[in-house]
A and B are shown apart, each in its own frame.
Chain A
């Protein structure tokens, strides 16, 4: 059992390395275009909704905290309380998606979503379009990750409620936790790249 646990964890870490490079391709695109069109990117970033973005960051960080708490508990003993924490984290994930959806709606109304409806007056239209292309792809993929994570948390929470996990067997909780924290970590960087540039200008 000990070994099985270790195997699953190592597998997840390797998978996360894969995920880093998956988003890495996008990050490179972003860096290239931001270095090419710094002014346009600052201008574009000012059109993002920093309040929603910051709120969402807080939501995800808190959700991660709940998962870390749940992991700490199941490592000690069987607990139905862990289920509450996991589901709580999942609910925060849902809140994140709802906020994100509202944000997409606002941007759609402002014609800022390339591929769906993009119109931007002025000279920088193309580079602003590049920024929002990156924005929609990156946040969209991240949202898919969040959605998957919510389902996983829901299932694991249900199993935890049935007292399936204990100090002897809690591999699914820790592995799902690793995934969820990673999703959180991706957002930390996306937040810095998408919402923060150009605020002081």
Chain B
């Protein structure tokens, strides 16, 4: 190899990978792991959709069906969505974006990957050894008293993975505070970092509550300490309060990094500064903060007091405001830009559309009287997937394509990438839009068999899911191909402005030769944008 040595070619013994403290290599380890979990969770989803084609449920038994949707939920939430952008792209890009050599605690970073894998494998073992039939929410007293699955083992896995999240969040917070290069003030930070910072705050402050909640569930189930057990005087709703105190902010853990990626993409491919930079930046912080005040909207019909319902409903409307700010600003960013349609931009546009629909249907659910009707129906399922899959996964793919040249040093095949982006968009809508209609029709979720009048929409959804499955598998092939045969990428194939594009692709082990100095705002395309346009 005549190319300069980079982090990939530095030392390729297996040991040097598994004991690496290089944030870029840890990121690669995470990429491999979450891809595995994504396809395991996806396989479960495929089986679920196949099952639901028939209202009488001939494919699997009810017990297997219940285990499938639990597996899908647990794996996708904790082992794909939560780590997806922060631990892969974030791990790789954060130090590069701020001009640092590594994260603040490189060994902690590696430890967090090991914890993640330990948790993931424990949970997988529970899922495949006997399965868990509680749903990803582990509601008591079902999980503590009545479930016949491997609940203790599964929650232990999630508990361990939680510590991985906490360590990552802690690492990012300290890194962003302390390791920025000279000149990189807060208002010169790329918006991706603002988002990740907000995400990290939630990771650090919410995840421990989940850890304690799951610990109590495990102790309750294993030893019968009875904290959530009505037969022993406990209150099952207390579990829900604790669980959603984490799990609602966790939704923002999942979506905020996606918003950060999209802010980058829209700016780069519109060749314009993000409109209302400060508003977008602070809206991320606002979402992280207010996100902690809304958890009770999962409990409007649970038996919590009507007064609490009012409080939580009101706060839920408030938290939608900063999200709306972001959407408006992204749109305004495109105004009078020089818009290019590379695959990452297609994903970003898809994100805005799908996220907006997910967000607007969120208002239906925040609205008390309507939530009473559609909660626990497919309406919730559709809403959740519009945000998580339509939003987060789309953003993840966008970011993955955008930073692919930086990570691997190769360009992905543009034609295939655009095709996959468009296919994902249509497959997604075809899968999940019918589920809104199912919800409005009153179809409850987590139903193995269902009244036949719902079948039309289920079949449509399953058809969409098959398209979606193909679309999600596509990148696996062409990105894999590009690793070996893709054209070599220069340092900055997109003419982007971030610090990460100032070093070679792939970056050297220590990221930068010398310390870069920042003198300008992010997204300053004024010079290059004009020049490019004149050439075109």
Contact = CB atoms under 8 A, between A and B. Distances in A.
Interface of A: 3, 6-7, 10-11, 14-15, 17-19, 21-26, 28-29, 32-33, 36-37, 114-116, 126-127, 129-130, 133-134, 136-137
A166 B211 CA distance: 37
A3 B224 contact: no
A201 B328 CA distance: 61
A139 to B, nearest CB: 13
Given A7-B174, A11-B170, A29-B238, A18 B205 contact: yes
Contacts of A126: 226, 232-233
B232 A10 contact: no
A26 B206 CA distance: 14
A10 B208 contact: no
B225 to A, nearest CB: 4
A126 to B, nearest CB: 4
A28 B241 contact: yes
B207 interface: yes
A137 B208 contact: no
A133 B226 contact: yes
B171 to A, nearest CB: 8
Contacts of B173: 10, 14
B105 interface: yes
Given A18-B166, A28-B242, A127-B233, A133 B211 contact: no
A25 B209 contact: yes
Contacts of A17: 204-205
Nearest to B206: A21
Contacts of B219: 115, 137
Interface residue SS majority, chain B? helix
B227 interface: yes
Given A14-B173, A21-B206, 13 more contacts: A11-B105, A11-B174, A21-B208, A24-B208, A24-B209, A25-B216, A33-B234, A115-B219, A115-B223, A115-B224, A126-B226, A133-B226, A137-B216
A184 to B, nearest CB: 19
B138 to A, nearest CB: 14
A115 B225 contact: yes
Interface in B198-221: 204-209, 211-213, 215-216, 219
Contacts, number: 100
A137 B211 CA distance: 13
Contacts of B225: 114-115, 133, 136-137
Nearest to B200: A14
A22 B211 contact: yes
Contacts of B222: 115
A18 B204 contact: yes
B233 A130 contact: yes
Interface string B60-83: 000000000000000000000000
Interface residue SS majority, chain A? helix
Contacts of B207: 18
Contacts of B233: 33, 37, 126-127, 129-130
Contact of A26 (B105, B171, B177, B212): B212
B144 to A, nearest CB: 12
Contact of A18 (B177, B208, B226, B232): B208
Which of B170, B215, B241 has its CB near the most chain A CB atoms (within 10 A)?
B170
Nearest to A23: B212
B161 to A, nearest CB: 15
A172 to B, nearest CB: 13
A180 to B, nearest CB: 19
Contact of B234 (A19, A25, A130): A130
B238 A32 contact: yes
Contacts of B234: 33, 130
A115 B211 CA distance: 20
A24 B207 CA distance: 11
B226 A130 contact: yes
B226 A10 contact: no
A116 B104 contact: no
A10 B234 CA distance: 38
Contact of B212 (A22, A116, A130): A22
A7 B104 CA distance: 7
Contacts of A32: 235, 238
A133 B232 CA distance: 11
A10 B178 contact: yes
Contacts of A115: 219, 222-225
Contacts of A134: 227
11 contacts: A7-B178, A10-B173, A22-B208, A29-B216, A114-B225, A115-B219, A115-B222, A126-B226, A129-B226, A133-B225, A133-B227
A134 B226 CA distance: 10
A6 B178 CA distance: 8
B249 to A, nearest CB: 11
A114 B104 contact: no
Nearest to A15: B170
Interface string B216-256: 10010011111100001111001001100100000000000
Contacts of B209: 21-22, 24-25
B186 to A, nearest CB: 16
Contacts of B242: 25, 28-29
Contacts of A114: 223-226
A127 B208 CA distance: 26
Given A115-B219, A126-B233, A130-B234, A18 B170 contact: yes
Contacts of B204: 14, 17-18
B177 A116 contact: no
